[in-house]
């Protein structure tokens, strides 16, 4: 598939926070989108989220009402994985769990057309390992979108050891058509953004764990002292503490360096089910009108 124009339809597996954002930007750019999930409730919630986000863009005159209607019309939800296999490019955006992703790729492979490209939105897992589960490692690569997808400009592109140039070029062209900027990263644990960002968040949790500062003090210090738009603990809650822990474990296991050891306090919060915004509690408690630090 050296002809990048041959990618007209994009299948997306997973209708969560990342999947619905990817569906939004792909449909807005003119691609036909097949959005898949195993849960009808999640598909319904995803379409509602996309509709709300498009309405906000229209209200700010970023897009027209015609664009909004056309974008929604291009997204087709489905519970059937076989439907996704009909797309020219399939992007997997399931939970950051290697065993889950591998099982999805195993099931997906039998439904793919011979020319179909596959990309994973993994934020940390080896592309080479994921590609090896499929029948087409040369047509497989990493396509790591940032959260929230409609607002964030970057997409990290990661080649596996077998990824061909035609695959890389075709996917890079898609990123360009989405109005986003791509950076190429090598297939090492957590790639570029999370290799730098997550150890910083983990260090912020250690700073809290060791009593160097409170949640409020740490976030205020980094916002005003380093000009970060969001403090590291607030950002961890936004990302999801389970995702933060998962990336740190990938770094720790993959690079065998103690500097990547997940902070025990981060582990404790995840064990408690305090996963951040999505659970209404993390380093902040979101159940009231204003977020309140939990330490």
pTM to 2 decimal places: 0.91
Residue 245 burial (CB count, 10 A): 23
Whether 180 has a binding-site annotation, put simply, is no
Instruction: Kindly name the residue from 123, 126, 182, 202 that is annotated as catalytic.
Output: 123
Distances from the Cα of 17 to the Cαs of 95, 98, 149, 255, in angstroms? 10, 18, 9, 28
Statement: residue 2 has pLDDT above 60: no
The answer to whether 2 is a known catalytic residue is: no
**Those residues with Cβ within 8 angstroms of residue 107's Cβ, 6 or more apart along the chain or in another chain:** 81
The answer to whether 20 is a known catalytic residue is: no
The answer to whether 123 is a known catalytic residue is: yes
Indicate the domain borders of the chain: 9-186, 195-293
Statement: residue 1 has pLDDT above 50: no
Do 9-186 and 195-293 agree at the fold level?
A: no
Whether 15 has a binding-site annotation, put simply, is yes
| Calpha distance 215→231 (Å, rounded) | 9
Compute the mean pLDDT over every residue in the chain, rounded to the nearest whole number.
96
Whether 123 has a binding-site annotation, put simply, is yes
* CATH classification code of 9-186: 3.40.50.720
The answer to whether 194 is a known catalytic residue is: yes
Query: How large is the average pLDDT for residues 189-201?
Result: 96
Four-way CATH pick for 195-293: 1.10.1040.10, 3.40.1080.10, 1.10.10.10, 1.25.40.20: 1.10.1040.10
Confidence band for 5, pLDDT divided at 50, 70 and 90: low
Residue 257 confidence (pLDDT): 96
Instruction: Kindly name the residue from 53, 121, 126, 156 that is annotated as catalytic.
Output: 156
Whether 5 has a binding-site annotation, put simply, is no
């Amino acid at each position: 598939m050296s002809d990048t124009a041959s990618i007209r339809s994009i299948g997306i597996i997973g209708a969560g926070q990342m999947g619905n954002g990817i569906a939004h930007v792909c449909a807005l750019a003119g691609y036909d989108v097949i959005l898949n999930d195993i849960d009808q409730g999640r598909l319904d919630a995803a379409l509602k989220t996309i509709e709300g986000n498009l309405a906000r863009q229209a209200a700010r005159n970023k897009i027209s009402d015609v664009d909004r209607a056309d974008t929604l019309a291009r997204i087709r939800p489905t519970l059937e994985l076989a439907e996704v296999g009909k797309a020219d490019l399939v992007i997997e955006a399931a939970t950051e769990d290697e065993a889950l992703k591998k099982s999805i790729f195993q099931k997906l492979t039998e439904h793919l057309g011979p020319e179909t490209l596959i990309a994973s939105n993994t934020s940390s897992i080896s592309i080479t390992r994921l590609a090896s589960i499929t029948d087409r490692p040369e047509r497989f690569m990493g396509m790591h979108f940032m959260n929230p997808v409609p607002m964030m400009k970057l997409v990290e592109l990661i080649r596996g050891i077998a990824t061909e140039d035609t695959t890389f070029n075709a996917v890079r062209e898609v990123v360009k058509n989405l109005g986003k900027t791509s950076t190429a990263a090598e297939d090492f644990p957590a790639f570029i953004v999370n290799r730098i960002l997550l150890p910083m968040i983990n260090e912020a949790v250690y700073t809290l764990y060791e009593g160097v500062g409170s949640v409020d003090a740490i976030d205020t210090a980094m916002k005003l002292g380093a000009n970060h738009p969001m403090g590291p603990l607030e950002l961890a809650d936004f990302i999801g503490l389970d995702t933060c822990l998962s990336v740190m474990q990938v770094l720790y296991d993959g690079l065998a360096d103690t500097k990547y050891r997940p902070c025990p306090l981060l582990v404790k919060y995840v064990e408690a089910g305090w996963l951040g915004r999505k659970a209404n509690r993390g380093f902040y408690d979101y159940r009231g009108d204003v977020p309140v630090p939990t330490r």
